[in-house]
Amino acid sequence: MTYPMDQPTGDPPPPAVPDGSGEGEPTPPPRRPAPGFDQKGHVRRTRVSGVWIGLIGTALFLILLIIFVAQNSRQVPLHFFGWHGQFSLALAILLSAVIGVLLVAIPGSVRILQLRRALRKNVPSGKAG
């Protein structure tokens, strides 16, 4: 007996083959997958599993960040528009990376908001939802 999970999706199940007794065993109707599984028999992905993967990735990133800070903890002089000071090399690099991300993210977010506003203006009144 074959199950729907054993069959490729989109293909009908094979017809029943008589076993020689003269009676053909009818093919059972396709069964729905068990709860938590998709049509191919794989476990469904959920929001919780996505959050869990995100937490693992974040933890790995923080471990690498701690290693980076530990290896680059020496003091370096910084000069910026007449300001002078001593900072940790790791702090200086991380601060410049954060400022770079903000320089990209803020204009990008503003542009996304502009495009959404323009889209709302162009959608007929009954179609917005």
Q: Do the Cβ atoms of 11 and 27 come closer than 8 Å?
A: no
Instruction: Report how far apart, in Å, the C-alpha atoms of 91 and of each of 17, 18, 31, 38, 65 are.
Output: 72, 75, 58, 47, 11
The band of 80, judged by pLDDT with boundaries at 50, 70 and 90, is: confident
Kindly report the pTM of this predicted structure: 0.48
Which whole number is the average pLDDT over 56-77?
A: 91
91-112 pLDDT per residue, tens: 888 888 999 999 999 999 999 9
pLDDT at 46: 81
Q: CB under 8 Å to 74, separation ≥6 — which residues?
A: 88, 89
pLDDT at 2: 54
Domain ranges in the chain?
33-71, 75-123
